[in-house]
């Protein structure tokens, strides 16, 4: 009965009003902040409005999930700690194959976890124009939009660190699937913005202080190979941030070789890296716990963050 009531609420909440397509809005008390003050760089033609949909067929831990597509106007939403503020902050990148954003499963639910641990969560709604409008995988370097949004968002968080009660030296990134790839992309492409400088936010560092990639994709160069994508491999340096990797061996969307290849690339250069591989659990489970051990991964991340002195 509880599940039926939740689905009924979502159906009513997401129903178009006056013929308009619903768009995602954060929970009360939180405001979306546009990350670009004017024209977005490398904008692609908009062929449809941003839409919000409920997937009640591919259930995760027995629950439906919500996703956004046709995102052309990126935003950040700041979620403040609900308890003692540790000073740490995490910029979160939901996944979705660079086509959609799993905004609750890999977004707002992550913020609920982080803020309860005293960590400021900044949720990035980055551009995902859709499969028909993106070349190949939709990932950088073929498509620079998402990485531009990530660089800009990190600059904004660091610029406003004092105002938002954040330690500017404790700002990390966490992402899932395509968002996990975006985590690695900004981890190695932070020394130069992909777009012309706009304001003070683009003059501060956009290097993450730590990085968490959960079932990342687009990293291994080929199937059944641990050869790392050259665009990532050639840019790893000793300054690449400490990284946490997690993936399942039965992941049939993003292969376990994706995490393995990045792990080996970081290890070769001497970048601190912790990796966890599990035999079962598949793909796209977010933070929703089941009886599978892999879904206890947030506990592993918390321990890792403590070892770094971030919390």
pLDDT score for 223: 79
Residue 48: pLDDT band with limits 50, 70, 90: confident
Q: How far is CA 161 from CA 21, 124, 157, 158, 167, in A?
A: 35, 16, 6, 5, 6
Residue 301: pLDDT band with limits 50, 70, 90: very high
pLDDT score for 225: 86
pLDDT score for 4: 36
Distance CA 45, CA 83 (A): 43
- Residue 106 CA to chain centroid, in angstroms? 7
Query: Which has more pLDDT, 5 or 243?
Result: 243
Instruction: Tell me which residue of 125, 192, 201, 128 sits closest to 163, measured CA to CA.
Output: 201
pLDDT score for 15: 43
pLDDT score for 7: 38
pLDDT score for 296: 97
- CA angle, residues 303, 305, 310, in degrees to nearest 5: 140
Residue 28 has a CB neighbour count (10 Å cut-off) of: 6
CATH assignment of 2-308, among 3.30.420.10, 3.40.50.300, 3.20.20.370, 3.40.50.1820: 3.40.50.1820
Q: Are 28 and 77 in contact (CB under 8 A)?
A: no
Residue 18: pLDDT band with limits 50, 70, 90: very low
Distance CA 174, CA 191 (A): 19
User: What mean pLDDT value characterizes the chain?
Assistant: 91
Overall average pLDDT of the 31-51 stretch? 91
Distance CA 123, CA 106 (A): 10
Domain ranges of the chain: 2-308
pLDDT score for 243: 98
Whether the predicted pLDDT of 52 surpasses 80: yes
pLDDT digits (tens, 9 = 90+) for 76-107: 999 999 989 999 999 999 999 999 999 999 99
Residue 132: pLDDT band with limits 50, 70, 90: low
Whether the predicted pLDDT of 19 surpasses 50: no
Whether the predicted pLDDT of 278 surpasses 50: yes
State the DSSP code for 285.
-
Q: Are 85 and 311 in contact (CB under 8 A)?
A: no
| Predicted model pTM | 0.92
Overall average pLDDT of the 281-301 stretch? 97
pLDDT score for 22: 81
Overall average pLDDT of the 185-197 stretch? 97
Distance CA 176, CA 95 (A): 5
Whether the predicted pLDDT of 229 surpasses 70: yes
Overall average pLDDT of the 225-248 stretch? 96
Counting every residue written for the chain, the total comes to 311
Whether the predicted pLDDT of 239 surpasses 60: yes
pLDDT score for 83: 84
Overall average pLDDT of the 35-50 stretch? 90
Residue 9: pLDDT band with limits 50, 70, 90: very low
Q: Are 65 and 104 in contact (CB under 8 A)?
A: yes
Q: Are 216 and 262 in contact (CB under 8 A)?
A: yes
Query: Which has more pLDDT, 139 or 187?
Result: 187
- Residue 17 CA to chain centroid, in angstroms? 30
Overall average pLDDT of the 38-47 stretch? 87
pLDDT score for 130: 64
Whether the predicted pLDDT of 254 surpasses 80: yes
């Amino acid at each position: 009965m509880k599940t039926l009531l939740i689905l009924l609420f979502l159906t009513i909440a997401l129903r178009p009003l006056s013929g308009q397509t619903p768009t995602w809005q954060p929970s009360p008390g939180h405001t979306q902040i546009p990350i670009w003050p004017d024209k977005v760089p490398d904008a692609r033609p908009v062929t449809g409005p941003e839409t919000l949909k409920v997937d009640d067929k591919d259930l995760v831990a027995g629950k439906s999930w919500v996703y956004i597509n046709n995102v052309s106007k990126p935003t950040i939403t700041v979620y403040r700690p609900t308890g003692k503020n540790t000073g740490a902050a995490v910029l979160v990148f939901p996944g979705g194959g660079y086509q959609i954003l799993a905004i609750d499963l890999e977004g707002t639910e992550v913020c609920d976890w982080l803020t309860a641990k005293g960590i400021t969560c900044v949720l990035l709604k980055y551009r995902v124009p859709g499969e028909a409008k993106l070349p190949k995988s939709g990932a950088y370097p073929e498509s620079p939009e998402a990485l531009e949004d990530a660089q800009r968002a990190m600059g904004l968080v660091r610029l406003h660190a004092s105002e938002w009660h954040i330690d500017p030296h404790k700002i990390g990134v966490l992402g899932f699937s395509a968002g996990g790839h975006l985590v690695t992309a900004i981890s190695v492409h932070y020394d130069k913005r992909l777009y012309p400088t706009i304001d003070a936010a683009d003059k501060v560092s956009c290097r993450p202080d730590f990085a968490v990639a959960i079932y990342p994709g687009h990293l291994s160069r080929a199937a059944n190979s641990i050869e790392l994508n050259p665009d990532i491999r050639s840019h790893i340096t000793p300054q690449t941030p400490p990284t946490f990797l997690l993936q399942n061996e039965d992941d049939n969307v993003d292969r376990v070789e994706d995490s393995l290849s990045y792990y080996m690339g970081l290890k070769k250069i001497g970048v601190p890296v912790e990796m966890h591989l599990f035999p079962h659990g598949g793909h796209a489970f977010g933070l929703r716990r089941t009886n599978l051990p892999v879904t206890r991964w947030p506990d592993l991340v918390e321990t890792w963050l403590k070892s770094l002195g971030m919390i």
